[in-house]
A and B are shown apart, each in its own frame.
Chain A
Amino acid sequence: AQTVTQSQPEMSVQEAETVTLSCTYDTSESDYYLFWYKQPPSRQMILVIRQEAYKQQNATENRFSVNFQKAAKSFSLKISDSQLGDAAMYFCALHQTGANNLFFGTGTRLTVIP
């Protein structure tokens, strides 16, 4: 069975500082994709970053980067130079190749302190 675990229900960061959100997962498949989605107060789910499991290089999108540790089944999100607009719920998600479902973690609420 597939599981996604986010062990930090809440995190906070000072504006302009760096924060790391944790995610661990479990899957028996070797081919899969991992995602981080952001859900602001409007509640629309916005794709932040994606990582293909077969790629060793960590994905990066501007101020957002991941630390993908395949052996440890860990997929953390680092937000650099945090901005007030980064405040949101962040969800880690797993997609197994050939499946139709995205498996979501329970989310981490990020607060950015001015």
Chain B
Amino acid sequence: SQTIHQWPATLVQPVGSPLSLECTVEGTSNPNLYWYRQAAGRGLQLLFYSVGIGQISSEVPQNLSASRPQDRQFILSSKKLLLSDSGFYLCAWSGQGVETQYFGPGTRLLVL
């Protein structure tokens, strides 16, 4: 069966510091991968998606970037965090050509 991991689970970072959140998927190959952000009390907003290694599409211009160095690894990064980057970040995967997305456990990011 497929599983999706995210780490860290919780992160507290000062403004201006760098960020690296990691997501890995097991039990499947060539998945579509997604990064979402959820602000408090709101639904999810798609940040990035990837259909393959090195292929990244951005949905919202912002202070963040994403990379996919391996087939089942998806990384969310920032060079300098802003207060507005605080939130809950969820990684998801889907099969190629499959509509259903499955989510990881998420990372709580607090920027102080």
Interface residues of B in 78-106 (CB under 8 A from A): 88, 90, 92, 99-106
Proximity string of chain A (75-114) to chain B, C-beta cutoff 8 Å, 1 when within and 0 when not? 0000000000000000100010100111011110000000
Residues of A close to B101: CB separation below 8 A: 95, 102
Residues of A close to B104: CB separation below 8 A: 44
Tell me, rounded to whole Å, the shortest Cβ–Cβ distance linking A87 to chain B: 17
Asked if B59 is at the interface (CB within 8 A of a chain A CB), the reply is yes
Residues of B close to A50: CB separation below 8 A: 99-100
Asked whether, in the complex, the Cβ of A33 is within 8 Å of the Cβ of B103, the reply is no
Asked if A30 is at the interface (CB within 8 A of a chain B CB), the reply is no
Rounded to whole angstroms, the CA-CA distance of A107 and B57 in the bound complex is 26
> Which one, B22-30, B40-48, B68-76, is touching chain A?
B40-48
| Most central of A43, A50, A100 by chain B CB within 10 Å | A100
Asked if A16 is at the interface (CB within 8 A of a chain B CB), the reply is no
Question: Which of A42, A46, A97, A105 is close to B43, meaning CB atoms less than 8 Å apart?
Answer: A105
Residues of B close to A107: CB separation below 8 A: 41-43
Rounded to whole angstroms, the CA-CA distance of A97 and B99 in the bound complex is 7
Tell me, rounded to whole Å, the shortest Cβ–Cβ distance linking A5 to chain B: 11
Residues of A close to B88: CB separation below 8 A: 43
Asked if A47 is at the interface (CB within 8 A of a chain B CB), the reply is yes
Please name 7 pairs of A and B residues whose Cβ atoms are closer than 8 Å in the assembled complex, sorted by A: A45-B44, A91-B44, A95-B101, A100-B32, A102-B101, A104-B43, A104-B44
